[in-house]
Amino acid sequence: MKKLDQYIIKTFFGPFLFIFSVLFFIFIVNIIWTQMGQLAGKGLTYWEITKFLFYLGISVVSMVLPLTILLSSIMTFGDFGERYELAAMKAAGISLVRVMMPLFITVSILAGILFLFSNNVIPDFQRKAKNMMFNIISSKPAINFTPGVFIDQISGYSVKFDKIQGENGEKLEGVFLHKNASTYDDQQTIIAKRGKFAPAVDRNYLKLILYDGYVYTDNVSNKSYEERLKQPNQSVKFDSLVNHFDISELINKGIENEKITDDYRFQTYGEVAKTLEKNRKDNVTIMGSVSSPIISQTNNYVQYIDKTKTKEKVTQPYKIDTLKKPKKLEVLWGAYNKIESLKAAVMSNQGAIDDLVKQHNKIVIYQQRIISYSFTCIIFFLIGASLGSIIRKGGMGLPVIIAIVIFIIFYVLNLSVENLSWKGSLNPYLATWIPNIVLFPFSIWLTYKALTDSQLFDIEKYRALFKPFVERFSKPKEHQRYQ
């Protein structure tokens, strides 16, 4: 390696290590800010909290590294330009491409390391973070409950507590439990003024004792629509009620030494591909089960029409205009009820379909980002190196502002396309790569401008460009009228 290459790489890694440390600390503080409310005051030791936050914080490396490369490259080439080192290199016959090449190779290596890190290290730490949370749930069941917020951590129930008190968060006030069930199953809601968590004989169960409340039940299972309308609400008042919730699944997942593969966030790129394949097959089965009742409700024979062959001529049973008014109204009313019933069935299934689409697209985006963020590193380097050589300004002033603006554009694009993909409005594969697709031409254009020594940020150049328009629409100064 030539001394010039060593000098360029050494100059780059000076701000790189500093910026990476600062950005990593900022992102970690953001995680602490969002998670500390759920962890503080729950009887956890500082070591448990620190360990948990560290496991969560490892995932921010995939976002910190591209931003660090962007800032470091702008500052490095800005310093070269400000100290006239870049001009000296060009005067010695060294092109900008040659100056950028050692750092381009270095950044490419860093991008490869980020891929390996995102593919192998981050999933493992994500698994450890979630396993630790499950372990905390099993020993301190109130840990994952936020006062005044509905949560679905207890399988089969949506739960909300108005207040959570006690040393380990075992005392509750304003308890609301709703059993998650479809519109065709029995509905149950439990409301109590007070409650508390108590140790269960079997650690696979969560014991919840409720005081002074009501159990509201609607027995609608296997009953027709007319019977459901006539079904009165049933309520039972209780002084105390004991519930046992099965949390064995959560606790079993909480073993850190066990390899968990049922969550896509714990998997490598290849394992996620297998999960996607299985998810697609499951979605086809679920969609079939969702659509079959609607088809049957519309016409019991519609699913056999294509297979049925008949030589008999199908004739229209009657024309509605030929019916008398009472019979006509009866037919129309029956058709209206049937359509409304179908609409209700479709609307009730829409939420399930949206959840399937959102979950599938989440998995795709997670998988593709393992690769896309590595390419983002290279794109950010091209942008940063080009901007640094153009503005020729080092330090923490203008370069930082420009880098932050570019990163905000990238981040907003990321969030926007992600939300569109979750709603099913955008292909998840395309959504993952759109930020890179948008910024890559910009990086090539900036690189071209840097190679041609374009005065892209020369204010006088733009002032001269717009001067004819400004003079045309501006009034002359008072002293100029008499010259």
- The pLDDT averaged over each successive group of 10 residues in the chain (483 residues) is 83 89 86 68 67 83 90 87 83 86 92 92 84 62 67 75 78 86 75 84 77 84 66 80 73 44 76 85 74 59 47 58 74 77 73 80 89 92 87 70 86 89 86 92 88 67 64 61 50
pTM of the model: 0.64
Say which residues have a Cβ less than 8 Å from residue 112's Cβ, sequence separation at least 6: 374
- Rounded Cα distance, 26 and 35, in Å: 14
Q: What pLDDT does 340 receive?
A: 77
Rg of the chain over Cα atoms, rounded to whole angstroms, equals 32
Q: What pLDDT does 302 receive?
A: 45
- Rounded Cα distance, 42 and 139, in Å: 11
Other CB atoms within 10 A of residue 267 CB: 22
Q: What pLDDT does 276 receive?
A: 85
CB 396 within 8 A of CB 18: no
DSSP-assigned states of every residue in 65-79 = HHHHHHHHHHHHHHH
CB 131 within 8 A of CB 33: no
Cα torsion for 89, 93, 96, 98, to the nearest 10°?
Answer: -100
Say which residues have a Cβ less than 8 Å from residue 323's Cβ, sequence separation at least 6: 331
Supply φ then ψ for residue 214, to 5 degrees.
-135, 150
CB 391 within 8 A of CB 84: no
Q: Which strands sit side by side in the sheet containing 157-165, from one edge to the other?
A: 157-165, 171-179, 187-198, 205-218, 234-246
Strands (E), 9-65: none
Residue spans of alpha helices (H) in 117-245: 122-139, 225-230
CB 139 within 8 A of CB 413: no
Residue 31: which of 5, 62, 9, 53 has the closest Cα? 53
Q: Give burial (CB, 10 Å; 0-12/13-18/19+) of 324.
A: exposed
- Rounded Cα distance, 172 and 190, in Å: 14
Q: Give burial (CB, 10 Å; 0-12/13-18/19+) of 259.
A: exposed
Q: What pLDDT does 380 receive?
A: 92
Residue 15: which of 86, 61, 80 has the closest Cα? 80
